[in-house]
């Protein structure tokens, strides 16, 4: 059971993952080690830590299924080596072949300090959008959506797991918070266009409306596959205060000390979780 009155140092690892999975793992492990050396006991990496590749055929041709995915063992070893709770924001994991063809999962892994997998979460909401300027994404062509929300009980905190585009669906964060989540994790690979416009606002809103800490490690910069991501990894307090933020899109680590009692205090001051009422909607047509 965690102590709400004690301080917990948390870290966001910001990356610029490319096509080489082994190199991405090596880069991530160096940054994880840096975060651990800085005193972090809960460390989170971004979405698609192991590979960023928008070309589905190329990705699926080389991606193994979970049992053969070497990244899992590498990050289990990192968690155990540093004695930390380690959230790998997500890994691309090939699923067993379906009738419609091969697809992958966009899957978070939470490792305990002993190296065991404490929880996994598959991204629920697929980023299928057409943006101004011709930028288009159809994530569902490559990835199968998850079907369950996850709150992981760790000895440092109750941790709600989400990934990137999930942040635009506030009912998910409401459900996680009502189920006890004190830290809401949003590992991401936000596009530069949407990140510039909405990243900070969305993260701050999720923190305020749920009285929770938000830990949001991000991909940043121009990737090998041609995509551009926003960076600006952030840690947000339950009152909406920005506790730490990466200045731009370069790889690195940001750290913040949090006290979980602040989440409880925020929920007492503005008890919207407790006072939420059911209602019906009436549509009046003219």
DSSP letter for 146, please: P
47 is catalytic: yes
Q: Which of 238, 165, 182 is nearest to 205 (CA)?
A: 238
Residue of 47, 139, 245, 262 marked active site = 47
Point out the catalytic residue in the list 164, 182, 185, 245: 164
CA distances from 254 to 43, 243, 275, 278 (A): 10, 10, 35, 39
Pair 190, 221: CB distance under 8 Å: no
Q: 251 and 14 in contact (C-beta within 8 Å)?
A: yes
Q: Among 12, 94, 123, 182, which one carries the catalytic annotation? A: 123
Would residue 164 show up in a list of annotated catalytic residues for this protein? Answer: yes
How many other CB atoms sit within 10 Å of the CB of residue 25? 22
185 a catalytic residue: no
Helical packing angle, 192-210 and 170-178, nearest 10°: 30
- The first and second tokens of residue 216, run together, are 């949001």
CB-count exposure of residue 225 (10 Å: 0-12, 13-18, 19+): middle
Find the helix or strand (DSSP H, E) in which 33 lies: helix 21-37
Q: Would you please indicate which residues are annotated as catalytic (active-site) residues?
A: 47, 123, 164
């Amino acid at each position: 059971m965690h102590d709400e009155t004690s301080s917990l140092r948390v870290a966001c690892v910001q990356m610029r993952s490319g096509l080489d999975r082994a190199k991405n793992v090596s880069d991530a492990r160096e940054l994880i080690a840096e975060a651990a050396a800085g005193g972090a006991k809960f460390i989170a990496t971004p979405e698609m830590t192991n590979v960023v590749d928008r070309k589905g055929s190329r990705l699926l041709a080389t991606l193994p299924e979970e049992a053969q995915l070497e990244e899992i063992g590498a990050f289990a070893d990192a968690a155990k080596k540093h004695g930390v709770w380690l959230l790998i924001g997500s890994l691309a994991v090939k699923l067993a072949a379906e009738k419609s063809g091969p697809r992958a999962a966009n899957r978070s892994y939470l490792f305990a300090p002993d190296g065991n997998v404490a929880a996994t979460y598959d991204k629920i909401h697929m980023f299928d959008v057409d943006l101004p300027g011709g930028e288009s994404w159809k994530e569902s062509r490559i990835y199968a959506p998850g079907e369950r929300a996850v709150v992981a009980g760790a000895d440092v905190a109750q941790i709600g797991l989400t990934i990137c585009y999930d942040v635009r669906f506030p009912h998910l964060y409401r459900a996680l918070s009502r189920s006890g989540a004190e830290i809401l994790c949003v590992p991401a690979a936000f596009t530069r266009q949407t990140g510039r416009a909405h990243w900070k606002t969305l993260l701050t809103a999720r923190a305020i409306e749920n009285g929770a800490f938000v830990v949001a490690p991000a991909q940043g910069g121009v990737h090998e596959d041609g995509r551009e991501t926003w960076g600006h990894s952030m840690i947000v307090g339950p009152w909406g205060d920005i506790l730490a933020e990466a200045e731009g899109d370069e790889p690195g680590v940001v750290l913040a000390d949090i006290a979980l009692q602040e989440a409880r205090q925020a929920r007492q001051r503005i008890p919207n979780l407790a006072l939420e009422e059911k209602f019906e909607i009436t549509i009046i047509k003219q």
